[in-house]
Amino acid sequence: MNRKYRKTIIAGNWKMNLLPSEVKGYGEKLKCLAPKVKWCEIVICPPSLMLQAALKTFSNARIHVGAQNICTEAKGAYTGEISAAQVKDLGAKYVIVGHSERRQYYGETDKQVNLKVNIAIENGLIPIICLGETLEQREMGITLDHIRLQLKIALSGVPADKIRKVVIAYEPVWAIGTGKTATSEEAGEVCKEIRAQLRSLYGARIARSISILYGGSMNGDNAAELLAQPDIDGGLIGGASLDPEKFYSIILAANQ
């Protein structure tokens, strides 16, 4: 982490877990645990039908809310979708874009990710852009090439005066929900390369200001070691975010 230049962020991605009736109880527990967190921005990303409940629950706390996905279109006949404008109108601040599960299970392409990044920014949301390689790509030795391409496509059309409103999350696909975690050195190497690519696209000053998160089985036991890497500025947390105490242990590591 480097707080001199950028924000530390711990974001919880609930995925398709918990119930609307459980949001308030979860929120009260987390608020009791984290009243004095000052060095770390906390974000909760629940399923879309829980956004309003989460926003209400965390309205009196320094905890932000984000969506897990948005549509590539602004509005129209897209049954089952949720627009960036709708998410913003509710009061959410963030949106996860291009999560590997969206890419893998729903065929989301790099081009669609790019459309979502741009429409999120246009509507005043901060996109958390997910990048990551499969185990096969890592074993082939093309991890960095793959990440560079994903990042370049995702940021196509994003001007320099808007790029500061973006967060990047490196999430090796092979480490998501598997209990496997990239070593701190492996994660640090990729996040360093992401910042180098940002530098080549937007210059050094902008590159050093953008927060890069690690996602992929981060937990209370490994968070401090991962966050000690100079180019890892936080985490995108899946399973561990479903338990307020486990989530708080990661927040605590980031708040040191």
**From CA 59, how far away is CA 20, in angstroms rounded?**
16
Measured distance between the N- and C-terminal CA atoms of the chain, rounded to whole angstroms: 10
User: 114 pLDDT exceeds 90?
Assistant: yes
Which one of 3.90.1150.10, 3.20.20.70, 3.30.479.30, 3.40.50.12710 gives the CATH number of domain 9-254? 3.20.20.70
95-112, pLDDT tens digit by residue? 999 999 999 999 999 999
Residue 62 near residue 37 (C-beta atoms within 8 A):
yes
φ, ψ at 214 (rounded to 5°): -110, 135
Instruction: Give 1's pLDDT tier (boundaries 50, 70, 90).
Output: confident
Contact of 72 with 119, CB cutoff 8 Å: yes
The model's pTM is 0.96
Query: Who contacts 252 (Cβ-Cβ below 8 Å, separation ≥6)?
Result: 220
Residue 181 has pLDDT above 90, yes or no: no
Instruction: Look over the chain and give the mean of its residue pLDDT values, rounded to a whole number.
Output: 95
Dist CA 133 CA 147 (whole Å): 7
Catalytic residues: 99, 171
